[in-house]
Structure 1
Amino acid sequence: MMLQDIDAVIFDLDGSLVDSMWIWEQIDIEYLGRFGIALPDNLQYEIEGKSFSETAHFFKERFQISDPLQKIKDDWNEMAWNKYSYEVPLKNGADSFLAYCKANDIKLGIATSNSRELVMNVAAVHGLEHYFDCIMTGCDVEKGKPAPDIYLAVADALKVDPSRCLVFEDIIPGILAGKAAGMKVCAVEDAYSEAIRAEKKELADYYIKDYTDFSSLY
C-alpha cells in the first residue's frame, strides 16, 4: 500500500539508507578537539538537517574557527572517507528494495545533507550508482532541511509531481522537509534517533524498522 500511486522514491542518506549517523559524533569530537574545544551536549540537535555547507558555516561562527569554510569541509570529508568506505553498511534490506523499485519503473533519488564527495563514495562502495536517477545535496539548494527545497528539487529533476513521491527519512527536520514538499514520508528506525521514535511516528505517514519490512513484495 505504501507504494500505491508512487512514481518516485527519494531517500535521505545518513540514518535512512545507510547506518552512518554514529560516525559524526566521533568526527565532531575529534575535529573540535584539534582546537581544544569539548563537544557541546546539544550540538547534534543544533545541526540536524543543515546542509554540509550550512554546518561548516555554523561551526565557523559558533566555535570561532579561523580556517576557511572550504578547509573545514575538506577536513570533514577526509576524516569521514575511510569510515564511509569500510565501516558504514546499508540499512538491512535496502539493496533488495532498491532493486524492486528499479524493476518496477519507480524512479529513485537521493536528497542528502551530506557532501557530494561522501554520497558518491557511498554509492560507489555499495554499487548503487545505477539505481539512482538523481543525487542531490543540501549544498545544491538555497535552504537545508526542514525547508522543502531539496525534495522539491529532486522531484523536479525526476519530472515527478511531489504528491507522487515517497520519502524515507530518519530525523525530524527531514520528515518535516518531505511533508512540506507535499510528499508522503516514511520514517526509518535508527539508533541515533531512538529517543524520538514516537514523535517520528506521529509526524510521518509510515514507519519501518528497516527495508526488510518490504520483503513480502519480492
Structure 2
Amino acid sequence: MLKGIQSVIFDLDGTLVDSMWLWHDIDVEFLEQRGLTLPETYQTEIEGMSFTETARYTKELFHLSESVEELKEIWNRMAIEKYTYEVKFKPGAEEFLRYCKDRNISVGIATSNSRELVGAVAKSLHFEYYIQEIVTACEVKRGKPAPDVYLEAASRLKVQPKHCLVFEDVPMGILAGKEAGMKVCAVEDAFSFAQQEEKKKLADYYIADYYEIFERNENRSVYEAGIFAHLQGGYGKTRSETI
C-alpha cells in the first residue's frame, strides 16, 4: 500500500479521528433550538462540502436568519468542547502517524472542517508533531468531490499527487482523492457504514482500522515487536522496512 508513497494525506472527521457522531448531535440540537427537524438525508447532502458551503446550504435550506459567518461561529462554539475533550483517534491512527514519522513519510490533513476545530483536536490529541500541512476546504475554490483541497495539500507538501496516499471515510472524499490523481484508502466508520460497498468500489484500498495496514505487511512478525508491543504497554524499536 505504501510502496512509492512519499506523503499521506488524511481527511479528519471519521478518518483520522472518531468525530462524526458529534456532528449528528450538534445538527439535531441546532435545528431543535429553531423548531426544526433534521432531515434524514441532510448528512448525505452536505457530504464533502466545506464549512462555508455547509453553512450556506443550511441557511438556504432552512431559511435561517443568521448569516453564513454567524452559523459557522455557532457551530464552532457548539463543537469546540467536544473536539477538545471527547474526540479520540480512530483505532490504530496514532500508531500509523508514528510509523509515517519514523519512515520520513510526510503527512497532511485535507478537511472540510474549520481550522479552529482542527487546531483544537490536534492540540488535544497531540498530533501536531506528526503533521506538516493542514488545508481546509474553505481555503480552496471548491469543496469535495472536487480535488482542490487534496491538490493544495500535495502542493504545500511539495509532493506530486501520484506519490500521495489519501485516507477517506466517505464517497465524496474518495472521489476527490481519485480526481486529484492519488491512491485512496477508504476507512470504515459507523456513520458511513451504509456506504461501505460504494466506498470499496471507489477506493484502491479499504481498511476497518489502521492496524490492518500493519497486518498486511509481509514482515509483520518483525514489525509487531515494535508497534504491537507498544499497544501492550511497551514500545520496541524493531521495525519492518516496507508495507
**How far is the alpha carbon of 1:162 from its aligned partner?**
0.1
Deviations 1:12-39 (A, max 9, x none): 0000000111111111111111211111
**How far is the alpha carbon of 1:179 from its aligned partner?**
0.2
**How far is the alpha carbon of 1:118 from its aligned partner?**
0.3
Distance (Å, rounded) in 2 between the aligned partners of 1:37 and 1:93: 38
Partner of 1:176: 175
Deviations 1:167-207 (A, max 9, x none): 00000000000000000000000000111111101110001
Partner of 2:7: 8
CA-atom RMSD in angstroms? 0.9
* TM-score of the pair, normalised by structure 1: 0.97
Distance (Å, rounded) in 1 between the aligned partners of 2:172 and 2:99: 28
Deviations 1:73-128 (A, max 9, x none): 11101111111112211011111110110111101000000000000111000001
* TM-score of the pair, normalised by structure 2: 0.88
Q: Determine which structure has more spread, i.e. the larger CA radius of gyration.
A: 2
Distance (Å, rounded) in 1 between the aligned partners of 2:94 and 2:37: 38
Distance (Å, rounded) in 2 between the aligned partners of 1:151 and 1:28: 27
- Gaps of at least 5 residues in structure 2 are 215-219, 228-243
**How far is the alpha carbon of 1:41 from its aligned partner?**
1.3
Q: Secondary structure of 2:174's partner? A: helix
Partner of 2:54: 55
Partner of 1:87: 86
Q: Secondary structure of 2:119's partner? A: helix
**How far is the alpha carbon of 1:213 from its aligned partner?**
1.2
Distance (Å, rounded) in 1 between the aligned partners of 2:6 and 2:163: 6
Partner of 2:150: 151
1:142 equivalenced with 2:141 (yes/no): yes
Q: Secondary structure of 2:166's partner? A: strand
Q: Secondary structure of 2:24's partner? A: helix
Distance (Å, rounded) in 1 between the aligned partners of 2:195 and 2:69: 33
- Gaps of at least 5 residues in structure 1 are none
1:121 equivalenced with 2:116 (yes/no): no
**How far is the alpha carbon of 1:214 from its aligned partner?**
2.6
Partner of 2:129: 130
1:165 equivalenced with 2:164 (yes/no): yes
The higher relative CO (CA closer than 8 Å, separation ≥ 6) is in 1
Partner of 1:74: 73
The number of residue pairs the alignment matches comes to 217
Distance (Å, rounded) in 2 between the aligned partners of 1:65 and 1:78: 18
**How far is the alpha carbon of 1:69 from its aligned partner?**
1.3
